C-alpha cells in the first residue's frame, strides 16, 4: 500500500503556510514540553494543583472502578472457596486452636506491658485515623508508583500523612486536592521507610524497587542475619510513620540485605486508612535543622522519614 | 420450548456500517469524524483510573499506542502538533513528571513525519516494526525520566511491560481501525 499523498499542498499558499505553521507549533510544543519537564524534575510539586484538579474530574470513574474491583475479587474468592472448603476447614480449625492459646498469652503480655509503661510514665498518643477511603487509581503504566485516594484536603488529608490498609503500610500522601490525594506507594524508589524486624527489633530501612518488591537494607554491617519469612514493621524513627505497621516479608536474602514482598498489596486493599503524622513536632524540627544546615550534598532526603 | 437453532436467531450487526440503515443523503457527523481520535486517546490516558492498583509497571502505555495507531492509520488526521495537548492530558494521569509525554509525543509526531517521508510504501509488518522501535524508545525514555525525577537509577523493571506492549500493538491497531469505521458512519442527514 502506498502512503496517502494528502500532505502535498500544491500551489496553494494558504495550505503551504498551514503545514509550515504545523511544524513550527510541533517544534515549539517539543521545546515547551522539555522546559516543563525540567521544571517538574527540579520542583516535583510544581504542577500538583493541575494534577489534583485532573484527578477530581476522573474521580467518579475511579470510584466505580474500585467498587468493581471489590465485587470482582469477592466473586472469584467465593468460587475458589468451594473448591477448598474441606481442606480449608481443617486447616482453620487447627489455626483457631493455636490462635486461642496465643491470644491468652497476648492478653497477659498486654497487661504486663501496660503495667510497665505506667511504671515508666510513658503515655502513648491515641492514634485517631484522619480518613478512610478507597484507592481509585494508580500509575499502572509508569515506572513511578503513585496511587490516587478518594479523600482529600476537605476530609483533613494533608501531605506527609501515612496511609495503611488492614494488612499493612501502603505509602504516604504527597499531594492533596479537595476530594482526592496522591499517594506515594511503598514500592516507589523515592519512598524510604525506617523499619525493624518484628521478632527482635533489628533496625533497617526499606526502599521501593518499582517492580512490586522492596529492597531491605540493614543499618548494621556484618553477617547478614535475615531469614526468609522475616516480617518487618515500621519502627517509628523519623517521626513520620507510627511504629508497628507491617511493611514487608523477606522473600530473598542477599549478601547485604534482602528483597521483600509487600505485607499489604495495594490491589487487595478495599479500604485504606489515612493516619496522622506520628510525631509532627519532630518532623518540623528535623526540617528546620536541615534548612539551617544548608543544602545536602545528596538529595536523598526526598524519601523523608529516614 | 426447543433451543433456537443458529439460523433462527436474528443476526447481530457484525459491522458498524450495519447500525445505520439509510445511507443515501447522509454524511458523517463532523464532530465525530474529527473528534473521535482525540477522545479515544484521552480515554486511553484515563486507563490509569482502572480497577487494578498495580504495584509494578505492567500495563502497556495504552494512550501512546492509540495515538501512534491513529497516526499510522490516518497520517493527516491528527495535526503535527497534536502531541502537545494530548501529551499534556496524559501527563496529568500517567504519574510521570509533567512534560514527559509532551516532549515524547511531540517528538514521536516529528519522527513519524520523517519516517513517512523516507518510507514511501506501507505494510503491516513494516508498520509494526516502526511502532515497535517507537514504543521501545518511548518506554525506555519514560523509565529514564522517571528515574531522573526519583533521583534513583530505576532498575530495568520495564521488561515485561515492553513485551506486552509490543505484542498488543496489532490489537490496538485493529481497535483503532474499528473506531475509524465508527468515525465515518453517515449519521447526519444532508
Q: Is residue A43 part of a domain?
A: no
| Chain A interface disruption, residue of B93, B95, B118, most A CBs within 10 A | B95
Task: State pTM to two decimals.
Answer: 0.76
A83: left (phi over 0), alpha (psi -120 to 50) or beta: alpha
C-alpha A180/C-alpha A66 separation (Å) is 14
Element (H, E) at A110: helix A85-120
The model's confidence at residue A302, banded by pLDDT at 50, 70 and 90, is: very low
Q: What is the DSSP letter of A173?
A: E
Render pLDDT for A114-154 as a digit per residue (tens, 0 to 9).
Answer: 888 777 776 666 677 888 888 887 777 777 888 888 888 88
- B contacts of A148 (beta carbons < 8 Å): 49
User: Are residue A115 and residue A162 in the same domain, yes or no?
Assistant: no
User: Are residue A272 and residue A138 in the same domain, yes or no?
Assistant: yes
SS3 helix, strand, coil % of chain A, rounded to 5? 40, 20, 40
Q: Is residue A31 part of a domain?
A: no
Report the residue from A26, A58, A189 with minimal CB separation from B80.
Answer: A26
User: Are residue A157 and residue A188 in the same domain, yes or no?
Assistant: yes
User: Are residue A117 and residue A228 in the same domain, yes or no?
Assistant: no
| Chain B interface disruption, residue of A21, A46, A135, A140, most B CBs within 10 A | A140
Residue B137 has pLDDT above 90, yes or no: yes
Q: Is residue A232 part of a domain?
A: yes
Q: Is residue A107 part of a domain?
A: yes
User: Are residue A164 and residue A192 in the same domain, yes or no?
Assistant: yes
User: Are residue A215 and residue A118 in the same domain, yes or no?
Assistant: no
Asked if B46 and A54 count as a contact pair (C-beta separation under 8 A), the reply is: no
pLDDT of residue A300: 45
Render pLDDT for B49-63 as a digit per residue (tens, 0 to 9).
Answer: 766 676 677 788 889
Q: Is residue A226 part of a domain?
A: yes
Report the residue from A65, A189, A211 with minimal CB separation from B49.
Answer: A65
- Structural domain of B145: 20-182
- B contacts of A34 (beta carbons < 8 Å): 99, 103
Render pLDDT for A120-131 as a digit per residue (tens, 0 to 9).
Answer: 776 666 677 888
User: Are residue A91 and residue A195 in the same domain, yes or no?
Assistant: no
Q: Could you tell me which residues come within 8 angstroms of residue A114 by beta carbon, excluding any fewer than 6 positions away?
A: none
The reply to whether B149 touches chain A by the CB within 8 Å rule is yes
C-alpha A131/C-alpha A146 separation (Å) is 19
The reply to whether B37 touches chain A by the CB within 8 Å rule is no
Kindly indicate whether the ipTM for this predicted assembly is greater than 0.90, answering yes or no: no
User: Are residue A113 and residue A164 in the same domain, yes or no?
Assistant: no
Element (H, E) at B183: helix B159-183
Q: Is residue A212 part of a domain?
A: yes
- For chain B, give the percent of residues with pLDDT over 70: 84
Q: Do B76 and A66 touch (CB under 8 A)?
A: no
C-alpha B114/C-alpha B125 separation (Å) is 18
- Structural domain of A203: 131-280
Residues 22-41 (A) with a CB less than 8 A from some CB of B: 22-23, 25-30, 32-41
Q: Which residue has the higher pLDDT, A104 or A293?
A: A104
- Reading the block at residue A37, the C-alpha cell is 519537564
pLDDT of residue B51: 65
Helix (H, G, I), strand (E, B) or coil at B36: helix
pLDDT of residue B132: 93
Residue A160 has pLDDT above 80, yes or no: yes
User: Are residue A145 and residue A265 in the same domain, yes or no?
Assistant: yes
Q: Rounded mean pLDDT of A90-102? A: 87
Report the residue from B49, B94, B123 with minimal CB separation from A61.
Answer: B49
Q: How many residues does chain B have?
A: 190
pLDDT of residue A241: 86
User: Are residue A200 and residue A251 in the same domain, yes or no?
Assistant: yes
Q: Is residue B115 part of a domain?
A: yes
Query: What is the spatial order of strands in the sheet that A146-149 belongs to?
Result: A131-133, A272-274, A162-164, A169-176, A181-185, A146-149, A135-138
pLDDT of residue A305: 42
Residue A303 has pLDDT above 50, yes or no: no
Q: Which residue has the higher pLDDT, B155 or B146?
A: B146
Report the residue from A4, A6, A34 with minimal CB separation from B103.
Answer: A34
Residues 253-272 (A) with a CB less than 8 A from some CB of B: 262, 265-267, 269
Q: Is residue B63 part of a domain?
A: yes
User: Are residue A137 and residue A259 in the same domain, yes or no?
Assistant: yes
Q: Is residue A53 part of a domain?
A: no
Please state the domain count of chain B.
1
Residue keyed to cell 466505580: A64
pLDDT of residue B14: 62
Mean pLDDT for chain A overall: 79
Asked if A144 and A224 count as a contact pair (C-beta separation under 8 A), the reply is: no
Query: Can you give the CATH number for the domain in which A194 is found?
Result: 2.40.10.340
Please state the domain count of chain A.
2
Render pLDDT for B1-34 as a digit per residue (tens, 0 to 9).
Answer: 566 565 665 655 567 777 777 777 888 888 888 8
Q: Is residue A81 part of a domain?
A: no
User: Are residue A238 and residue A143 in the same domain, yes or no?
Assistant: yes
Chain B nearest-CA distance from A208, in A, is 10
C-alpha A282/C-alpha A288 separation (Å) is 10
For residue A247, which of A232, A237, A267 has the smallest C-alpha distance?
Answer: A232
Amino acid at each position: 500500500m502506498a502512503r496517502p499523498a494528502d500532505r502535498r499542498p500544491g500551489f496553494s499558499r494558504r495550505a503551504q503556510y498551514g503545514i509550515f505553521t504545523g511544524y513550527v507549533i510541533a517544534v515549539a510544543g517539543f521545546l515547551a514540553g522539555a522546559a516543563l519537564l525540567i521544571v517538574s524534575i527540579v520542583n516535583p510539586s510544581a504542577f500538583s494543583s493541575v494534577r489534583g484538579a485532573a484527578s477530581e474530574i476522573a474521580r467518579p470513574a475511579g470510584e466505580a472502578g474500585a467498587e468493581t474491583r471489590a465485587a470482582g475479587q469477592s466473586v472469584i474468592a467465593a468460587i475458589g472457596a468451594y473448591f477448598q472448603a474441606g481442606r480449608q476447614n481443617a486447616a482453620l480449625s487447627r489455626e483457631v486452636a493455636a490462635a486461642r492459646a496465643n491470644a491468652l498469652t497476648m492478653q497477659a503480655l498486654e497487661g504486663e506491658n501496660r503495667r510497665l509503661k505506667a511504671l515508666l510514665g510513658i503515655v502513648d498518643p491515641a492514634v485517631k485515623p484522619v480518613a478512610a477511603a478507597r484507592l481509585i487509581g494508580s500509575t499502572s503504566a509508569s515506572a513511578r508508583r503513585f496511587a490516587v485516594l478518594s479523600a482529600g484536603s476537605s476530609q483533613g488529608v494533608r501531605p506527609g500523612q501515612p496511609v495503611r490498609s488492614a494488612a499493612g503500610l501502603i505509602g504516604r500522601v504527597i499531594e492533596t486536592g479537595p476530594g482526592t490525594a496522591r499517594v506515594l506507594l511503598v514500592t516507589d524508589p523515592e519512598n524510604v521507610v525506617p523499619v525493624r524486624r518484628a521478632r527482635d527489633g533489628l533496625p533497617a530501612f526499606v526502599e521501593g524497587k518499582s517492580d512490586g518488591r522492596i529492597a531491605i537494607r540493614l543499618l548494621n554491617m556484618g553477617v547478614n542475619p535475615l531469614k526468609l519469612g522475616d516480617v518487618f514493621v515500621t519502627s517509628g524513627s523519623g517521626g513520620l510513620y507510627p511504629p508497628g505497621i507491617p511493611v514487608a516479608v523477606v522473600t530473598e536474602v542477599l549478601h547485604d540485605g534482602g528483597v521483600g514482598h509487600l505485607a499489604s498489596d495495594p490491589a487487595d486493599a478495599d479500604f485504606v486508612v489515612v493516619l496522622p503524622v506520628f510525631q509532627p513536632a519532630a518532623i518540623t524540627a528535623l526540617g528546620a535543622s536541615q534548612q539551617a544546615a544548608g543544602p545536602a550534598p545528596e538529595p536523598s532526603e526526598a524519601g523523608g522519614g529516614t | 420450548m426447543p433451543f433456537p437453532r443458529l439460523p433462527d436467531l436474528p443476526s447481530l450487526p457484525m459491522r458498524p456500517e450495519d447500525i445505520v440503515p439509510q445511507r443515501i443523503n447522509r454524511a458523517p457527523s463532523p464532530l465525530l469524524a474529527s473528534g473521535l481520535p482525540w477522545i479515544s486517546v484521552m480515554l486511553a490516558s484515563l486507563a490509569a483510573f482502572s480497577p487494578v492498583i498495580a504495584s509494578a509497571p505492567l500495563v502497556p502505555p495504552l494512550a501512546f499506542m492509540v495515538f501512534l495507531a491513529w497516526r499510522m492509520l490516518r497520517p493527516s488526521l491528527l495535526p503535527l502538533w497534536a502531541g502537545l495537548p494530548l501529551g499534556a492530558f496524559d501527563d496529568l494521569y500517567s504519574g510521570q513528571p509533567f512534560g514527559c509525554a509532551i516532549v515524547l509525543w511531540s517528538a514521536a509526531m516529528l519522527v513519524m513525519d520523517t519516517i513517512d517521508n523516507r518510507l514511501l510504501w506501507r505494510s503491516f509488518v513494516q508498520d509494526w516494526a516502526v511502532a515497535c522501535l517507537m514504543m521501545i524508545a518511548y518506554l525506555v525514555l519514560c523509565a529514564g525520566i522517571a528515574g531522573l525525577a526519583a533521583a534513583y537509577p530505576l532498575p530495568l523493571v520495564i521488561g515485561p511491560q515492553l513485551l506486552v506492549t509490543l505484542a498488543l500493538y496489532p490489537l490496538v491497531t485493529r481497535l483503532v481501525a474499528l473506531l475509524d469505521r465508527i468515525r465515518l458512519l453517515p449519521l447526519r442527514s444532508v
